[in-house]
Amino acid sequence: MIKVISVKPLQNYCLEVRFSNNEVRLFDVKPYLNKGIFTELQNENYFKQVTLQLDSIAWRNGQDFSPETLYLKSTAC
């Protein structure tokens, strides 16, 4: 099972994600910004508060992505 070991918010609602297989990939959050709980991520200051949580990433108000989604929907750097 793949795990997230680090995350760094970038400009334009992208995340640089390092996985347990040592790959670094870019995940674009923009397609999710108008969907349900993710609309709060439109606030750039809040978006930048992403943290590691349970082998993946999350924000303090419950928004999260599974490590599998992050890996499959991201692109290699």
Domain ranges of the chain: 4-76
- Cα–Cα distance for residue pair 52/8, rounded to 1 Å: 10
The fold of 4-76 is NE0471 N-terminal domain-like (3.30.2020)
Give the SS3 label for residue 60: coil
- Whole-prediction pTM: 0.95
CA distances from 8 to 14, 24, 59, 67 (A): 9, 11, 13, 15
* pLDDT tens column, 5-16: 999 999 999 999
Give the pLDDT band of residue 2 (cuts 50, 70, 90). Answer: very high
Q: Give the side-chain half-sphere CA count within 13 A for 64.
A: 15
Query: What value does the mean pLDDT take over residues 27-43?
Result: 98
Tens-place pLDDT, residues 39-66 = 999 999 999 999 999 999 999 999 999 9
Residue 56, pLDDT score: 97
* CB-count burial class (<10 Å; 0-12, 13-18, 19+) for 5: middle
